[in-house]
Amino acid sequence: MVQGIANWNTEQTEEWLQGYVDDWVAFFRKHTNEGKVASYIPELKKANPDQLGISIVGTNGMKIQSGDTSIPFTIQSISKVFSFIVACMERGVSYMLDRVDVEPTGEAFNSIMHLEMRQVKKPFNPLVNAGAITVSSILEGNTSDEKLEPIFELLEKLLHYRPAIDVDVYESERDSSMRNRAIGYYLLETGFLESDLNSTLETYFKQCSIELTIEDIARIGTTLANDGRDIETDEEIIPRPIARIAKALMLTCGMYDASGKFATYVGIPAKSGVSGGIMAVVPPRVRSEDMPFIEGCGIGVFGPALDKQGNSIAGIRLLKHIARQWDLSIF
Ligand code: GLN
């Protein structure tokens, strides 16, 4: 256990923590060969399964990065957090919660099963495909570009630059995703969609294809850890009640049917995507001062080799280890 220093926010301790994280990334990288890259979106098959990288940005500004840190990747399901936040900002929280529930499914991210169960009046949560596609339909605007513009504006505020879509990944998913089209038709038939199916699915595929780096993901995580306020300017970018719901959803539903295990063994709100990214949010903890990042941090992880649930296999192990070493659990 790393401990014994009261003030972690110095260059020396930053260097010291960097040494630990470098060792941990090197150690957990070998677990990448136990997973497989996503193949159901053909373009994602091109990813290198050996890669693993992590970026940690504290709300105090301290930054530690290690491994494969400079590879941009499509955020896939991590985008579901952003589209839900934007929809809540546009329509209001109660409007959204009337239309999408906040319950974990215990099923795969692209499961259609619950929609068929009679007593279900709305999709289970906005972080699985059925809920996220419903959210895309609720976003204001008639075309996918109109619907996506506020998501890009939010990301630009969070990151201080405007990210772009990886067109090859977008087209690859658009042309191959029969499953999401099936979910879309089902939602249309059951009256859950608030826009036409085409612009809804186009919005969904495009948001999943937004390209970011792990540092970007960590920065956004930090703002969420900081209750939606920019750590440099203190501007409120995401209203606090919405940031809070987003974190609750990440904790309960963010890792699909591994969410319970992740909450139990790691204990921090997180959202994964099938390209191998994970955004984790560590709120400030009330603990003894001798733990790093006690004022909270955001963590971005990238490791394209996935486990059976579609989460980065080495990324989860690395996060679990760091959470233990630095006592990051919210519990
Ligand atoms: N675009 C992907 C899909 O809809 C996102 C899923 C994921 O990241 N788990 O299948």
Write down the pLDDT at residue 115. 78
CA terminus-to-terminus distance, the chain: 18
Instruction: For residues 31 and 22, give the distance between their C-alpha atoms in angstroms, rounded to a whole number.
Output: 15
**pLDDT at residue 304, as a whole number:** 98
pLDDT confidence band for 9 (50 / 70 / 90): low
Buried b or exposed e, range 44-77, using 16+ CB within 10 angstroms: beebebebbbbbbbbbeebbbbbbbbebebbbbb
The answer, yes or no, to whether residue 117 has pLDDT greater than 80, is no
Total number of residues shown for the chain? 331
The predicted pLDDT at position 1 comes to: 38
> From CA 68, how far away is CA 240, in angstroms rounded?
32
| Cα 6 to ligand 1 centre (Å) | 42
In this structure, what token pair is assigned to residue 279?
Answer: 């955004």
pLDDT at 119: 66
213 near 300, Cβ under 8 Å? Answer: yes
pLDDT value at 5 more than 70: no
pLDDT tens digits, one per residue of 31-74: 999 999 999 999 999 999 999 999 999 999 999 999 999 999 99
Return the ligand 1 atom nearest residue 110 CA.
10
* 155 pLDDT higher than 90: yes
Closest residue by Cα to residue 290 from 1, 3, 62: 3
Substitution site in 80, 127, 129 for ligand 1 pocket (most atoms within 8 Å of beta carbon): 129
Note the pLDDT of residue 249: 98
- Model confidence at 197: pLDDT above 60: yes
Q: In this prediction, what percent of the chain has a pLDDT beyond 70?
A: 96
Ligand 1 centroid vs 311 CA: distance in angstroms?
11
Residues lining ligand 1, Cβ inside 6 A: 76-77, 109-110, 129, 173, 180, 208, 273-274, 310
Provide the greatest CA pair distance for the chain.
60
- Residue of the CA atom closest to atom 6 of ligand 1: 77
Q: Which numbered atom of ligand 1 lies nearest the CA of 274? A: 8
Q: How many CB atoms lie within 10 A of CB 234?
A: 8
pLDDT score at 14: 87
Ligand 1 centroid–CA 171 distance in Å is 14
pLDDT for 280-311, tens place per residue? 999 999 877 788 999 999 999 999 999 999 99
- Ligand 1 center–CA 187 separation, angstroms: 17
Helix (H) or strand (E) segment spanning residue 129: helix 129-138
Ligand 1: nearest atom to the Cα of 273: 8
The residues annotated as belonging to the active site are 77, 80, 204, 256, 274
Q: What share of the chain has pLDDT > 90, as a percent?
A: 87
- Residue 315: predicted pLDDT: 98
pLDDT of 100 reads 96
Please give the average per-residue pLDDT across 148-172, as a whole number: 98
Closest residue by CA, ligand 1 atom 2: 76
Q: Which atom of ligand 1 lies closest to the CA of 77?
A: 8
Q: How far is CA 24 from CA 19, 65, 104, 319, in A?
A: 9, 12, 31, 10
Residue 202 has pLDDT above 60, yes or no: yes
- pLDDT tens for each residue of 253-272: 999 899 999 999 999 999 99
Q: Residue 113 — very low, low, confident or very high, per pLDDT cuts 50/70/90?
A: confident
| From 39, 73, 110, mutation site for ligand 1 pocket: most ligand atoms within 8 A of C-beta | 110
The arithmetic mean of pLDDT across residues 243-247, rounded, is 98
272 CA → ligand 1 middle, Å: 9
User: How many whole angstroms separate alpha carbon 263 and alpha carbon 214?
Assistant: 21
pLDDT at 118: 57
For residue 179, give the ligand 1 atom closest to its CA.
10
pLDDT(21) > 80: yes
Cα(285) to ligand 1 centroid in Å equals 32
pLDDT at position 4, please? 45
